[in-house]
Each structure stands twice: as C-alpha cells, then as structure tokens.
Amino acid sequence: MTIRPLPDTLVNQIAAGEVVERPASVVKELVENALDAGATRIDIDLEEGGVRLIRIRDDGSGIAPDELPLAVARHATSKIASLDDLEAVATLGFRGEALPSIASVSRFALTSRRAGEEHGASLPVDGGKLGSVSPKSHPQGTTVEVRDLFYNVPARRKFLRAERTEFSHIEEWLRTLALARPDVELRLSHNGKASRRYRGDGGMATAERIVETLGEEFSKSTLRIDHAAAGLSLHGWIAQPTYSRASADQQYLYVNGRPVRDRSIAHAVKQAYADVLFHGRQPAYVLFLELDPRRVDVNVHPAKHEVRFRDARLIHDFVYRTLHDALAQTRAGEAPVALP
C-alpha cells in the first residue's frame, strides 16, 4: 500500500461521522452558529424529521460574500485565532468543522447578508463540492439549508430512525437550549406546520420555558439557587425533595451557557439530595454554572457534550455545598420560591 493524503471531501465526510450523528446534531450546530452570531430570533423549518430539509434562518451578524467559501472550509473559524483564545473560548463553536462536515453529507446552501451591506449572497455546496457564490437578496443575517442529509452516505442513512423519532430528538434538544437562552426567540416548524414558539423576552420567557419543559408541578416546588464563591457561580432552580423522578430525565446542567453532561457534577447534586430523597429517586434541576473559561476545557469532544474542569474537586464540592445548604434551609421551614 502506498500512503496518500485523503481528498478534502473525504476528510470532511470522516469528520461528519463525529459531528453529524443525526438531524438533531445538524440543528444543534446551526443554531449554535446563529447564537454565536448574536441572533435574537432563530427560525427552524424542518421536513420529514429534518432528513428531507433543515432550514435555519437567523438575524445575526451575517457573513460577507467573499467569506462564504471560507465558512464551509475545514478548520476555518472567526471565533478563535490562537492557543490563548482556545484556552478561554467564550463562544459555542470554535473548531471550524460543523459547516464543512454538514455540507459534505448533504445538498447544502449558505445564504447571508452582513449588517450594513446592501446585498446578500449565496453559496451552494453539493455533497462537499463547492458551487459558486452568486448574489441573492436576503434580510440581515444568515440562512442555512440542508437537504437530503446523508444522501451520499448510504451507510449513515441506514441509521436514521423514523421521522417522528428524529423530530423528537430535535424538539428535546431545542427545549434544552431554550432553557438557557430566554433572550432569544425560537420558532420551530415541521412539514409546514408551526410546532413551537418560544418568545424571547428574558424573565417571563424563563418561567414559561421551565413550565413547558419540566411541568407545572416542578415549577411550583422549586428552590431558587443563586450563589457565588471562589470565582464560581451557580444559579438556577432545583426541585424540593417532595418532587422527585424515577429517572434522571429532568436534569439540565449548563456550563458557561453550554448544555453539558458531567458525571462529577451530577454526583455532587445527588449527594446533596442523599438525605432527603428516597433511595432510587432522582432530583430534578436546571442549573447554570459560570466560571472563568480558562478553568474549563471545552475541547474534549467533537460534539462538545462534555467538558473537563481544571479543578474538578473544588467544583464538585462547591455544587454539593450550595445545594446541600439550600435544601437544609427548606427543612428549617422556609417556603419555596415562585418562578422565575
């Protein structure tokens, strides 16, 4: 065998294997891009569970026409420029991988108009093959269209589930995101029907989103968490012990605004509830941990579901202490706090 470099399209398709598992991962990457671009409203239109079409339009900063090819080029990003930046990432994206990966496994189009520019432009990409940039009218912001996901990767297509299943993965992820960004209006439509609308007006929106996601009962029995120490801040809502779950299905954790799964923090929460929940019952919570981005490595996983803390033990203990104290106070007879 001779050793040869792989063609670019194939490299992108290999990367797509990690970043693009199913339509919900495409929606996640595209919505994160919209948020990084400062969007205040994001419209998501789907057909057939996102397999036929995912179209995401935002009112963010937009992309200049001559930068459209760069946006779909591998390892090209406007978000970091140095190792220093990487160690203090404040945006949701930074790998410059999502658009080239998605564009290599779909019929793709990127259309955008930058703030202050008169004209927009569009770039089609078919299965990784770049078309040419042409003028196209577009309001300020960006629209990404992804058609026929995995049409050129039959092995991948085989793993797609029923339309209903793929759609519910998207809905579930959107709920998770909606909890973290009550300042952004989110609209979801499926097969031409409006399916969900989250208004984007801060406090009120938060309360609404919590009721919608975790239910009336959770929101009536919450304890407000808001504590800071040692450069760490934890805020959000946890359920009183009278409200618990059979499974860990209502546990939402965000680190610097990014939804993540973290064993150590999940464990800290469980410990805090150890004395007040029956064995086998799970607590419900929506918790936001904020810390200096230098203290957390987000470059652990291509899809960025996991992070690594520089001082994991300290954070574990901080979360445990904060929740333990809050739960102890309710036992001392303090009333639950109403939302938001």
Interacting positions 26-85 with Mg ion (CB under 5 A): 33
Which does residue 60 bind out of Mg ion, ligand ADP, none, counting CB within 5 to 8 angstroms by kind? ligand ADP
Residue 283 interacting partner from ligand ADP, Mg ion, none (CB closer than 5 to 8 Å by kind): none
Residue 20 CB burial class (10 angstroms; 0-12, 13-18, ≥19) = buried
Sheet holding 285-290, edge to edge: 222-229, 232-239, 285-290, 251-255, 258-259
CB of 29 to Mg ion, least distance (A): 5
What would you report as the CA-atom Rg of the chain, rounded to the nearest whole angstrom? 21
- Only one residue has tokens 């097969």, namely 191
Rounded to 5°, the CA angle 225-304-158 comes to 125
Q: By CB under 5 A, is residue 93 in contact with Mg ion?
A: yes
Q: How many residues line the site for ligand ADP (CB under 6 A)?
A: 21
- Evaluate whether 123 touches 130 at the Cβ level (below 8 Å): yes
Q: Determine the residue type at 178.
A: A
CA–CA distance, 41 with 259 (Å, rounded to integer): 19
145: contact with ligand ADP by CB under 6 A: no
Residue 182 binding ligand ADP, by CB under 6 A? no
Q: Does 33 bind ligand ADP (CB under 6 A)?
A: yes
Contacts of 193 (CB under 8 A, 6+ apart): none
Rounded-to-integer distance, Cα 125 and Cα 142, Å: 16
Based on the shown chain and the rule CB under 6 A, indicate whether residue 34 belongs to the binding site for ligand ADP: yes
- Out of ligand ADP, Mg ion, none, what residue 12 binds, judged by CB under 5 to 8 A for its kind, is none
Q: Which DSSP string corresponds to 99-122?
A: HHHHHHTSEEEEEEE-TT-S--EE
Check residue 29 and give left, alpha or beta (phi > 0: left; psi -120 to 50: alpha).
Answer: alpha
Binding mask 115-144 for ligand ADP (x = CB under 6 A): ---------------------------x--
Q: Please identify, using beta-carbon distances, which residue of 103 and 225 lies nearer to ligand ADP.
A: 103
Judged by beta carbon distances under 5 to 8 A according to partner kind, the member of Mg ion, ligand ADP, none in contact with residue 221 is none
From 45, 58, 163, 208, residue interacting with ligand ADP (rule: CB under 6 A): 58
Selection from ligand ADP, Mg ion, none that 34 binds (CB < 5 to 8 A by kind) is ligand ADP
Please pick, from the candidates 72, 98, 232, 323, the single residue that binds Mg ion as defined by CB under 5 A: 98
* Contact between 100 and Mg ion per CB under 5 A: no
Least distance from Mg ion to the Cβ atom of residue 93, Å: 3
Residue showing tokens 């939402």: 252
List residues binding ligand ADP (CB under 6 A). 29, 33-34, 37, 58, 60-63, 71, 77-79, 93-99, 142
